[in-house]
Amino acid sequence: MKAFVRLFARDVGLAFRHGGGAGLAIAFFVLAVTLFPLGIGPGPEILARVGAGVVWVAALLATLLSLDRLFQADYEDGSLDLLALTPLPLELTVLAKCAAHWATTGVPLLVAAPILALLLNLDVAGLGALLLAMLLGTPILSIVGAIGAALTVGVRRGGALLSILVLPLYVPVLIFGVAAIDGAISGLGAKPHLLVLGAFLLGALALGPWAAAASLRLNLD
């Protein structure tokens, strides 16, 4: 447990140090969302209609942006070998790195999302659902992304391959994330969609670290 916390703390610390790139995902997120009003025009009705989808799609892409360094940096400098040899099981190592990734990428997105949603004239009734859906959804993005990152570790220019592998797996999160917000706005309720997202999160937590650890072992061999 102590080792888990140490690894988590190191990864969070590294993300905020020189060249860590913690600000990258959030900057991309804000920029990508602000491009939409410029691209499709400032009509409040259109923006309100597409707002939920725009925020979610931008969040998926922003998460992808930071995923390729999740294991790659440790692989390149030999740290991954040593991490595989520590008493901490590799599955928990993966989970600690996912948690650190979420804390440095998912949480900033979560904080920025309501502000950006208001900017897009999203109905205020949908804000609570947006927050809850992102709270459940962003950890899934980190964990599922870790599987892709583990599969492509050691691959030159693996970032592009990673996007192609992982984006299709993000589709369910996108669908239910947007549906939750639409449900809250239309008055049908967001609960069923949030429950499905919660189920996805539990599934990802249960399976993701094992899948990612297995792929890392393959790539270390």
Partner 1 sequence: MFAGNGLACVRGERRVFRALDFVVAPGEALVVQGPNGAGKSSLLRLAAGLLKPAAGMLTWNGTPVDADPDAHRARLGYVGHLDAVKPALTARENLAFWTGLAGGSAEVGPALDAMGLAQLADVRAQFLSAGEKRRLNLARLAASAATLWLLDEPTVSLDQASVARFTELARAHLASGGLIMAATHLPLDLPGRALALTAGARAA
Angle, alpha carbons 82-88-93 (nearest 5°): 75
Q: Which of residues 181-220 bind partner 1 (CB under 8 A)?
A: 220
Does position 110 bind partner 1 by CB under 8 A? no
Question: Least Å distance between CB 76 and partner 1?
Answer: 8
Q: Which of 35, 79, 111, 186 binds partner 1 (CB under 8 A)?
A: 79
Q: Which of 33, 47, 57, 88 binds partner 1 (CB under 8 A)?
A: 88
Q: Which of residues 20-39 bind partner 1 (CB under 8 A)?
A: 20
Q: How many CB atoms lie within 10 A of CB 12?
A: 17
Closest alpha carbon to 220 in 102, 66, 94: 94
Does position 6 bind partner 1 by CB under 8 A? yes
Question: Least Å distance between CB 79 and partner 1?
Answer: 4
10 Å CB burial of residue 31 (0-12, 13-18, 19+) is exposed
DSSP-derived 3-state class of residue 154: coil
Q: Which of 31, 35, 85, 124 binds partner 1 (CB under 8 A)?
A: 85
Residue 183 and residue 186: Cα distance in Å, rounded?
Answer: 5
Question: Least Å distance between CB 153 and partner 1?
Answer: 14
- The smaller minimum CB distance to partner 1, of residues 205 and 220, is found at 220
Residue 172 and residue 220: Cα distance in Å, rounded?
Answer: 31
C-alpha separations of 28 from 22, 71, 127 in Å: 11, 21, 21
Q: Report phi then psi at 6, rounded to 5.
A: -60, -45
Does position 2 bind partner 1 by CB under 8 A? yes
Choices 22-30, 74-82, 121-129, 170-178 (CB under 8 A): range interacting with partner 1? 74-82
* Contact set with partner 1 (CB under 8 A): 2-3, 6-7, 10, 13-14, 17-20, 76-79, 81-88, 220-221
